[in-house]
Amino acid sequence: MIWLDNTSQDAVDRFWRRAGGEPRKFPRNIETALLAALPVAIIHLPNLGINMVERWLTKRNASYRFPCPDRSLRGCLVAFAGKALIFVDGTDSEDERRFTVAHEAAHLLCDYLRPRQQAIATFGANIVEVLDGERPPTAAERLHALLGSVPIGVHASLLDRASGQVELADTIARCENRADRMALALIAPPKAVMTASDISVRPFTRRATSMIDQLVSTFGLPAAVAKAYCSALLTTIGKGPSWAESLR
């Protein structure tokens, strides 16, 4: 079963190698693995919002302004010079925080570190000055297609509190959100989920209930995320609802 594209799967595999190996015990402590594998710090703040992140950075002489108004967040990634900060709403439940950290880790791996590493491999170490905003690219560098896809200066991503669980099922089913898929692969790998779940029982509602129970109790996913993930996984392997069940 193919859950991730090759680029995303490669990023996940590389991450676990750098973390010292993929853990077999669930639920996974993604924060510990992330700190071991990457140059990142994880900050828990109560009732997280955009203005709160901006104030936290300003107090540490790292002023940054997001190009959007204040709103509540589940998580936030801010990356610069090859290092990153992941902000998490500390008032969320443990399972919500686990998914948030994994989601932001996916953005860090695929949207920031991977293109940065590719640029350095292509142009050499001097390109770091461009990536960190210390000088503009030369004419030759501007002509290279790769540079157009690499974050220049500060890179940020936001996981809105309001963007969550109602839209998540459709997002995952349509394969439109790579970060969500990578996050799920990091903390609840599809093969492990299917091994732990009874996917042979009928009808679909019993299969789904079995898998959702495992996703919540064994893998530590939030209930709404578990429901969406279960639907996407079962459909992918041909174990989704029958035609008659879909009508009902």
pLDDT at 174: 39
d(CA 50, CA 71): 6
pLDDT band of residue 167 (cuts 50, 70, 90) is very low
Rounded-to-integer distance, Cα 55 and Cα 39, Å: 22
Please tell me the number of Cα atoms within 13 Å of 223 on its side-chain side: 2
* pLDDT the model gives residue 75: 96
Residue 60 has, within 13 A of its CA and on its CB side, a CA count of 8
Can you give the pLDDT at residue 162?
59
Mean pLDDT within 211-234: 94
Number of Cβ within a 10 Å radius of residue 100: 26
Alpha-carbon span 209 to 241, nearest angstrom: 13
pTM of the model: 0.89
Of the candidates 69, 67, 42, 68, the residue with the CA atom closest to the CA atom of residue 56? 42
User: Reduced to 3 states, what is the DSSP secondary structure of residue 174?
Assistant: coil
Classify 78 as helix, strand or coil. Answer: strand
pLDDT confidence bin for 149, thresholds 50/70/90:
confident
